[in-house]
Homo-oligomer: A and B are copies of this chain.
Amino acid sequence: MRAHVIDALPAPGGQCIALYPDKPIYDIPAVPVCTGRELVARLLEQIRPFAPSMHLSQLVTEVIPQADQSIHVRTSAGLSFVTQTLFIAGGVGAFLPRALALPGIQAFSGTQLHTAPSLPPPGQHIIILGQSDTALEHAIALHQHGGCASITVIHRRDQFDANQATVLAFAALRQDHHVSFIAAQATGFEHRNNRLTALHLATTQGHPLTLPADSLYTYLGLSPKLGPIADWGLNLDHKQIPVDPTTFQTHTPRLYAVGDINTYPHKKKLILCGFHEATMSAHHAADQLRPESAGPLQYTTTSKKLHQLLGLIPDPAST
């Protein structure tokens, strides 16, 4: 059996990477301490022999169980799959760019309002909201490319959560007046003929300010959104998917939910519980799909078949 992994984030790791990459975790059994990033690196190393196909930076938008028990899956990047079994490990939802909280501004999303770097047409006034590596690197890249009428970075404090070299390069451009920085928060916007024209700000000192804006880039971090999962008919209970606590199957056959997104009596949102749930659901699914090969459990210490899959001894099937 082979697995395809689909995730909204650009890299595998979910909350461990998106929420606490550098925080130490103390309750992974047999790993006295590791950071979120280290945990993900260890898990990726462990699954390497099984070479799952990764389909990243895209949401699963549709999950449609078919009459023949297969499940049709589509993603926001236009991929479509027909699968015999699906595991939802959606955590607290898909990590999507946090939206700018100005009522009505989303009307310009994709035209003048962006959440990922791009090169705007020449002669524009550019405003970048944010304080991350992405925000500063985009400002630097726009200056290097040239042609902007102005480049302004806005964040509520003159302080950046970015790597040292990037912060220094940005500071040099500020000193030479190639880019501007204003410590402020966005409070509103102006538009004319369906075009965004200016952004209203309140500076950290409390002064109102209006800046011309042709293109607005927002890098406000990631925020989890349950997203399309809510539309898949899964009888959600407080945004959680109810499952059988011994198989982790949802009420739809062959559709499983594991990790923080599922619920059952006495559920605990712990990583080690996710390991158990993923394992139990994988065994159940395999036994459902191939009842003829459901036999006694094989152990990695002794099973020749598992040693072949791990690449420890040659696999006659692959020669």
Contact = CB atoms under 8 A, between A and B. Distances in A.
A176 to B, nearest CB: 41
A268 to B, nearest CB: 6
A46 interface: yes
B279 A266 contact: no
Copy number in the complex reads 2
A301 interface: yes
A30 interface: yes
A232 interface: no
Contacts of A42: 30-32
B26 A306 contact: yes
Interface residues of A, number: 43
A247 B246 CA distance: 12
20 contacts: A23-B302, A26-B46, A26-B306, A26-B310, A27-B300, A28-B30, A29-B275, A30-B42, A31-B46, A246-B264, A246-B265, A246-B266, A247-B266, A266-B280, A266-B284, A268-B279, A268-B297, A272-B272, A272-B279, A275-B276
B300 A283 contact: no
Contacts of A310: 26
A280 B273 contact: yes
Contact of A43 (B30, B247, B273, B279): B30
Contacts of A280: 266, 268, 273
Interface string A95-132: 00000000000000000000000000000000000000
A25 interface: yes
B24 A301 contact: yes
Contacts of A277: 276
Given A25-B300, A26-B300, 13 more contacts: A20-B301, A23-B302, A29-B272, A30-B43, A31-B31, A32-B46, A36-B301, A266-B284, A268-B280, A268-B297, A269-B297, A273-B276, A273-B280
A20 to B, nearest CB: 6
Interface string A28-41: 11111010100100
Contacts of A36: 301
Contacts of A46: 26, 29-32
Contacts of A245: 245-246
A222 interface: no
Contacts of A82: none
Nearest to A266: B246
A211 to B, nearest CB: 37
A68 interface: no
Contacts of A297: 268-270
Contacts of A292: none
Contact of A272 (B43, B266, B275, B302): B275
A45 interface: yes
Given A30-B34, A32-B42, A42-B32, A270 B266 contact: no
Interface string A249-273: 0000000000000001110111011
**10 closest residue pairs by CB, A with B:** A276-B276, A26-B300, A29-B275, A32-B46, A30-B42, A23-B301, A246-B266, A27-B300, A246-B265, A245-B246
